Chain A
Amino acid sequence: MPYNLKEVVANKPSRFTAGHRMCAGCGAPVVGRMVLRALKEEDHAVIANATGCMEVSTFIYPYSAWTDSFIHTAFESAGATLSGAEAAYKSLKRQGKLPEDEHTKFIAFGGDGGTYDIGIQSLSGAMERGHDMVYVCYDNGAYMNTGIQRSSATPKFADTTTSPAGKVIPGKMQSRKDLTEIMVSHHLPYVAQTLAMNPFKDLYEKAEKAIYTEGPAFLNVLAPCPRGWGYATEDLMQINKLAADTCYWPLYEVVDGKYHITYKPAKKLPIEEFLKPQKRFRHMFKPGNEWMIEEFQKEVDRRWQDLLDLEEITNKE
């Protein structure tokens, strides 16, 4: 059946409820809710969360904003915790202790701090061992929950509280780690990068493939943070669109090693369009700092070209 946003929202209940305490206009719940909508209604889910914005604000004792089973252990262990749960489930299923006609899916959520940095070893281990699970990283590009400290997902030149732009340094001095590519290098059956863009077809379909592909799958989803990025709260969807249209955040999937770019902007916009509305890049627009924008653009262009090349190479007959 072809995807239809209105049908999906009307017929699939929200498994990520209202009453959570993420900030107004946060990009992450929009992502989380749509990922869970990709579940078949009759399937159960076990959700594990790395410590992060999403965990601390959806699971404040005695309230849970998840209608499925939810586990939080420690910052670094979403991958390990969920792979343990999945292994236990498989064992019980084999022993005939669980109903045969009911299915449980395993989904981990982690922010970029809990995924790119602190949780990378447990994530890597879980993926390498081949558990039937999906790890979803909602990437807001810094430790937003604790006060906007830089992470390895923070783009170069971004002003954060631990990479303050000023006379001494021009914001974060290092390039952004490309976690999606690291996950591709695990040779997983399904890896994808996406973001929330109306009508949410890209996000929904990738989530569905990730959840229902047997074996380990990874999704990297951009989740803008109005507080940390310093853009007007209501601009969430515009920022997402600009990230895709400037190719800052390419939308693509890698299925069994084959690259497929799922969104090629009709007109690739200059990176300024994405940088300009965000306070964390404000210093890049001061006279004398043009080199920063140039360098940023070069990096974006290089990574985009790499992707185009990879798509061509991996799809050769």
Chain B
Amino acid sequence: MTEINSKTPMEDLTIGGNIYQAGNAREFKTGDWRSMCPVFIEEKCKQCGMCFAVCPDDAIPVGKDQNRTDFNYDYCKGCGVCAKVCPFGAIEMKEGTNK
């Protein structure tokens, strides 16, 4: 499905423009949009959860143990919303695409 691109001939497109793989946007990486990069400082993090749900891009992985891990830089667009809500200074924004 995701091999389809702007050069794909019409007859190879799906009928009606249907998409048969729900949630396949995950295969489209948006990390290269970043001009600012969040850096997760694990020692300062108290796992309070304030940043868990504020990420528009679902780039903060939260495990079944209810703890977060480092950012998923495949998708993070560098908006900085997470850094702003962190009460413990455990997220720092750094200039550039990579930390």
A residues with CB within 8 A of B: 5-7, 9-11, 14-30, 33-34, 58-59, 61-70, 196, 198-200, 226, 233-238
Write 15 A-B pairs (CB below 8 A) sorted by A numbering.
Answer: A7-B66, A9-B62, A10-B64, A21-B28, A59-B19, A61-B17, A63-B27, A63-B28, A67-B23, A199-B53, A200-B53, A236-B56, A236-B79, A237-B54, A237-B81
Closest to B79 in A: A25
**For A198, what are the chain B residues with a Cβ–Cβ distance below 8 Å?**
50, 53-54, 85
Asked if residues B29 and A27 are in contact (CB atoms below 8 Å), the reply is no
**For B65, what are the chain A residues with a Cβ–Cβ distance below 8 Å?**
10
- Given A19-B30, A34-B53, verify A63-B62 contact (CB < 8 Å): no
Closest to B74 in A: A18
**For A20, what are the chain B residues with a Cβ–Cβ distance below 8 Å?**
25, 30, 57
- B62 vs chain A, min Cβ distance (A): 5
Asked if residues A62 and B24 are in contact (CB atoms below 8 Å), the reply is yes
- Given A59-B19, A237-B54, verify A19-B78 contact (CB < 8 Å): no
- B49 vs chain A, min Cβ distance (A): 4
**For B49, what are the chain A residues with a Cβ–Cβ distance below 8 Å?**
5-6, 9, 199
**For A64, what are the chain B residues with a Cβ–Cβ distance below 8 Å?**
19, 21-25
Of B4, B63, B77, which one neighbours A10 at CB under 8 angstroms?
B63
Q: How many angstroms from the CA of A64 to the CA of B26 in the assembled complex? A: 8
* Cβ < 8 Å to A, chain B residues 64-97: 64-66, 72, 74-75, 77-81, 83-85, 93
Q: How many angstroms from the CA of A53 to the CA of B28 in the assembled complex? A: 18
- Given A18-B58, A69-B22, verify A233-B80 contact (CB < 8 Å): yes
